[in-house]
Structure 1
Amino acid sequence: MPSSINESLRIYREIFDKSDLFSSNDDRLLVIDNWLNVPNDWTCSGIEGFHRWRMLLKSDIEATEAMLQCTDGDEPLISSNLIAHWTCWMALINPAVSKHPITAVNKYFILPKREGQKGKPKSVKVDIVADAGRSWIRLSNIKLSSILAELAEMDSLITSSDDDSDSHVDQPMPVPSLLKIGHELSAASIKFIIHDQRPDIHLYLTRLSREEVAESDSRIKGQLETLNLYGIQVHFGIPTYDLKVSQKQPRVALKPTTNINLDVSILIAFTSITTHIYNPAEASLKPNNATEHIRAISNQLYQESGVCALFDLIKETCDTETLQFWTTQENKDRTYSILDKIGGATEKLRLESIFEGGNDSFWDGSRYFSNQMGGLPVKIINDSGDDVPTASFDDFVLRRAHKALNSDGNMGSAGKLTPHTLRTVIAGLERGWTTLTSNRQSIKALVQGWHTHVNNNSSLATFWLVEPRSLSEQLLEKSDRKSNK
């Protein structure tokens, strides 16, 4: 690395400028979101800690620039973080070192508490979390002279202990820094399982070569062998890499699958009078008060001026000639129970025909009668799963849904989902079918952390979110939520 202030500043600035163009992962979660006036943030391009790392880099640039005001630029830069920043940058941009997607830079992982340990738990630093969490990369800029100094200190302590034979004080021997790092990384990785596997741990000794280690104190080689026993892969040096930024190809728009899994909210929306009526203001609803009624009708008219109504949206998005709607027997039963309590006569008739195959009966009196939509009648999913091929979706969300279902809907920090919502989602995921729902909050909670597993070359959506479109639907959904409590 250069030693002059001018050359160091040049490299600092080059890293900072190029890092502004770097992105590890512009993938998206496989979610179609047709909600109105809601941020549709279903991408997973952010790298945790990357902005903070760039700001540290900027601070070092400013400090070096300030140094130039009072020092000759050809003078050596005695102390700086340049080596640390440069090695981190080389590791970040080289896909042979950090496999995409990269999810974090300079991340600290909590170590398991030892028995009897008091105070806050300690943590260990991982410079780069790559391969969607499956790979941890730690960069060590330790020099051979520092390792030899550690060994000399240990020899001195051993000699001192032998000479002071009358001392009764047990003085623990210092742990070599490489073994300390290795032990902490190994211990922390046990708590962060990805697909039933601990992350691969890579330790890059950026300022050491295999040859100089082989020719030096044999105990250094012994430390590296111990690191291998910890499950840590040791690398020497850091390969240089030239970042080439190419124009990204436009992404193919997400599409639903031919078979679409419906939850209760959509079954209610399908049968709701305000989905079919020519003028939503004419709906014979019984809201809690007149103000609520006026506000709901106003909101629906506003929504429909901005985005398509539900059936129009489906017809625009899907191939209705091959489209087929499905739902679970549980959802069918729940919808019948809800409409039995709250639904009007028209909504109950539509519910009957949506399952029984009376196509004209379903569209009778609807503004869509002359322009009907395929996919009906709604078929019931076979619980055995024999009616469908193996799912093709990434299994992270499916595994998370099963885990939450076995934990009575508990999603940890993401909150709690109702068991019937989880069973609905599982039915779609197991079959590789898009699940159509207006339950946005549940889906947001369910896919939390999906970016650490996503493999989304597919253009088929896992979830399709639409907005609750009418007061009658909201009333019916409110009844459904109450029945879950």
Structure 2
Amino acid sequence: MTGVRHPELHDLRSQLREIYHAMATFGSTQLAAKPPILDSSIDLSRESEESHSHQDAVHGLRALRDAVRRDLDVLEKFLNDPGSASAPALSTNAPYLISVWNEVLHASPPIVTIMRTFVEGDQPAHVPRRGSRKPPGVKVDVVSEGGRRWVRVNTTKNSRLLAEFREIDSYMTESDEEEDDGTGRPSLAPKEFDNSILRVGRSLLEAARRNPVPGTNTPPSITLRLTRLDPSPADRKEYDPRIAQTIHTLRDMGIDVQLGDRDPAQLPKVSPAPVRRLEPTIRVNLDLSILIALVSDITHSPLPSSPEEADARYVPSAQCREWKRKREGKKRLEEEETDGENGMGKHSRALANQALQEMGRGLLHELRDRLSSVSSPDLADVEFWTTPEARDRCLRIVLSKIGGPHEKRRAAALFPAPDTPLPEAVDRYWEDSRYPRAFLPLVPIRVFPSSVPAPDVEPAAAADALSPFFRVLARTCRDILAQEAAPAPPQTVDEDEEIERAAVTKANPRLTAHTVQSMLWGAVRGWTTLTANKSSVKAILRDIRTAEGGYGAAAEAAPAPTAAAVAVEKAALWVVDPRSLAEGMRSDYSE
């Protein structure tokens, strides 16, 4: 680039351009593997199946790419300005970003997170604290080896450290003078050898001690890459023996110190990640939320012709308000009627929104489309299973006054009495449905022999060819259920009946025991668990991160991904939107 002003900035711009485009096709072998969760739900926060791209497979990769984009935009603007030739060189964060990306490329898989701040106190970084002050933290650029290795990039130059040494020397001189004049004033001179690099090292060690590798008491190993610090510079003005002393001290502390940038010739080549396609198993495990959805009036009734018709369908009728009064009491009903945002009005809008979702893609159509791609054309080999607890709770909820007549009939048909002929049960389930008879082989839903698999039952041999996430999920569910479940108070249905609320787990109040039981059965059998309870899926993933450092640690031992253009994987969990019991809330409802 002879004759070009600011050649170093042009070089940085070229590197950032290359990095930015490489991130978009970064291969999945380096990343912490993503749990095989098939998400068909509509999420306004855009956390849907469409948005789970490979660049989100590890926390922080998108943030790093955004940072590269910002610096690249600043460089582009500066270098494209004709006046930049006579302007001083622009200050940029590009060298640091490039070094972090190089560490990502060289990191031993799986990478868990990038550019994360860990607290030095007793609480993990993701745990919020009371008050507005943020807890002190230390930044880690790459967490690799399933959480066992922390890498921090530091771009401090010799000149900066030499400035620190000069300041320290001035304190030492002042301290000598103060001792001579006998004033007794406190001295700013350090009591022992110290500088900013050593403080970074101590902070990393303390944060590692406070944040051991998940599931162990062992702190992560620490690598500190000093990209611009040179203990033996060619320019003697940049030399000070205390630079080498700093490096030796860091190594004596147990830190792996690496000097200089990575050799560009040794950087691994970025290969495109295979397209990941998740598909369900032909045996599908259903939790309580799906059993409710399968009998819901919203799932089976004729579709509204417009959003206005959907809203009108669930305007509470006088009979509905009377039913609510009996169930919840006059005072509570009056409060709801005067609080449309939080009362019956809110519930009616939620039901109308579910009806609109059916207009977009019906739940049963979604199931049939997904399952027909993995089974025989007539779905003859497809089976639906559930736990005894989910079945019993579904029947108690629907057969009370919560379910309407058609919803009650469907619930009973899904679990027919032993002496009921199967064709009769099938007819009763599909009666008055907008779907044709036996659109899905739902009747009868098979029931596992117990609510919880025996303690010695591990994921089936057939599941060995599946994602190791099944084993991680099974282990986490067993750990949660091993703790005593805390029963919730009963929920009043009317003056004569009560439905016992589901017991929440002590390990996580966002998880009910029956939901964890359902997930456990699916994990043990190696079958896809279908759920409309997205919050429970998020909760179990948080527990997996807490207990095992996320799925990536377990996936490390799995076979390496194939080089195929499309990687097909069986889903452990399948999330859809909920369909609530709604027949009794219809404006045209009459008993």
TM superposition score category, shorter chain reference: 0.7 to 0.9
Cα distance per residue 1:168-194 (max 9 Å; x no partner): 334354431221111112223344445
Of residues 94-103 and 121-130 in structure 1, the stretch that sits farther from structure 2 once superposed is: 94-103
Matched, 1:447 2:447: no
Aligned to 1:92: 101
CA distance in 1, matches of 2:478, 2:357: 38
Aligned to 2:385: 326
Cα distance per residue 1:310-344 (max 9 Å; x no partner): 66346425535554443333223212321331344
Change over 3 Å in CA distance of 1:373–1:32 after alignment to 2: same
Q: Paired residues, what number? A: 459
One-letter code of the match for 2:63? G
CA distance in 2, matches of 1:443, 1:182: 38
SS across alignment from 1:89: helix
CA distance in 2, matches of 1:272, 1:186: 55
CA distance in 1, matches of 2:158, 2:227: 11
Cα distance per residue 1:199-250 (max 9 Å; x no partner): 443211112457769x986655553344245443211111133675555433
Please give the residue correspondences for 1:44-63 in structure 2 after superposition, counting only pairs within 5 Å. Answer: 45-46=55-56, 47-50=61-64, 51-63=66-78
SS across alignment from 1:142: coil
Please give the residue correspondences for 1:47-446 in structure 2 after superposition, counting only pairs within 5 Å. Answer: 47-50=61-64, 51-63=66-78, 66=81, 69=83, 71-72=85-86, 80-81=91-92, 84-93=93-102, 95=104, 97-99=106-108, 106-112=115-121, 121-130=135-144, 135-144=149-158, 146-147=160-161, 150-151=164-165, 154=168, 157-158=171-172, 160-162=174-176, 164-165=178-179, 166-174=182-190, 175-196=194-215, 198-208=219-229, 220-228=243-251, 230-241=253-264, 244=269, 246-251=271-276, 253-272=277-296, 288-289=316-317, 300=355, 303=358, 306-307=361-362, 309=364, 312-313=368-369, 315-319=371-375, 320=379, 322-342=381-401, 343=403, 344=405, 346-353=409-416, 359-365=422-428, 366=430, 367-369=436-438, 372=441, 376-381=445-450, 382-389=452-459, 392-393=468-469, 416-429=510-523, 431-446=525-540
Aligned to 2:338: none
Aligned to 1:481: none
CA distance in 2, matches of 1:176, 1:415: 46
Change over 3 Å in CA distance of 1:219–1:298 after alignment to 2: closer
CA distance in 2, matches of 1:468, 1:112: 40
- Consecutive unaligned residues of structure 1, counting only runs of 5 or more, are 476-485
- How far off is 1:159 after superposition? 5.6
CA distance in 1, matches of 2:473, 2:3: 50
SS across alignment from 2:214: coil
Aligned to 2:342: none
Of residues 431-440 and 452-461 in structure 1, the stretch that sits farther from structure 2 once superposed is: 452-461
CA distance in 1, matches of 2:85, 2:148: 45
One-letter code of the match for 2:532? S
Cα distance per residue 1:68-122 (max 9 Å; x no partner): 616459xxx66733xx5235314404555345666766554444399xxx96543
One-letter code of the match for 1:377? R
CA distance in 2, matches of 1:19, 1:420: 47
- How far off is 1:368 after superposition? 2.8
Cα distance per residue 1:12-46 (max 9 Å; x no partner): 32133223313246665422223358642344624
Change over 3 Å in CA distance of 1:183–1:403 after alignment to 2: farther
Aligned to 2:588: none
Indicate if the aligned counterparts of 1:428 and 1:435 stay in contact, CA closer than 8 A: yes
- Consecutive unaligned residues of structure 2, counting only runs of 5 or more, are 124-131, 305-312, 321-346, 431-435, 487-503, 556-560, 562-567, 586-591
Cα distance per residue 1:419-473 (max 9 Å; x no partner): 4334433443455432111123332454369897344767121211233346548
SS across alignment from 2:291: helix
Of residues 39-48 and 371-380 in structure 1, the stretch that sits farther from structure 2 once superposed is: 371-380
CA distance in 2, matches of 1:3, 1:155: 42
Indicate if the aligned counterparts of 2:529 and 2:573 stay in contact, CA closer than 8 A: yes
SS across alignment from 2:152: strand
Change over 3 Å in CA distance of 1:18–1:460 after alignment to 2: same
SS across alignment from 1:380: coil
CA distance in 2, matches of 1:91, 1:69: 31
Change over 3 Å in CA distance of 1:370–1:228 after alignment to 2: closer
CA distance in 2, matches of 1:312, 1:134: 43
Change over 3 Å in CA distance of 1:313–1:87 after alignment to 2: same
CA distance in 1, matches of 2:163, 2:256: 24
Indicate if the aligned counterparts of 1:135 and 1:202 stay in contact, CA closer than 8 A: yes
Change over 3 Å in CA distance of 1:454–1:208 after alignment to 2: same
Change over 3 Å in CA distance of 1:286–1:224 after alignment to 2: closer
CA distance in 1, matches of 2:443, 2:252: 61
Indicate if the aligned counterparts of 2:298 and 2:580 stay in contact, CA closer than 8 A: yes
Aligned to 1:480: none
Indicate if the aligned counterparts of 1:354 and 1:376 stay in contact, CA closer than 8 A: no
TM-score of the two chains, using structure 2 as the length reference: 0.62
CA distance in 1, matches of 2:349, 2:528: 34
Change over 3 Å in CA distance of 1:379–1:238 after alignment to 2: same
One-letter code of the match for 1:393? F
CA distance in 2, matches of 1:56, 1:4: 20
Supply the RMSD in Å over aligned alpha carbons. Answer: 4.9
CA distance in 2, matches of 1:15, 1:258: 48
Change over 3 Å in CA distance of 1:362–1:225 after alignment to 2: farther
Indicate if the aligned counterparts of 1:356 and 1:377 stay in contact, CA closer than 8 A: no
SS across alignment from 1:464: strand
CA distance in 2, matches of 1:356, 1:269: 26
CA distance in 2, matches of 1:246, 1:330: 47
- How far off is 1:270 after superposition? 3.9
Identity of aligned residues (%): 25
- How far off is 1:386 after superposition? 4.4
CA distance in 1, matches of 2:79, 2:360: 56
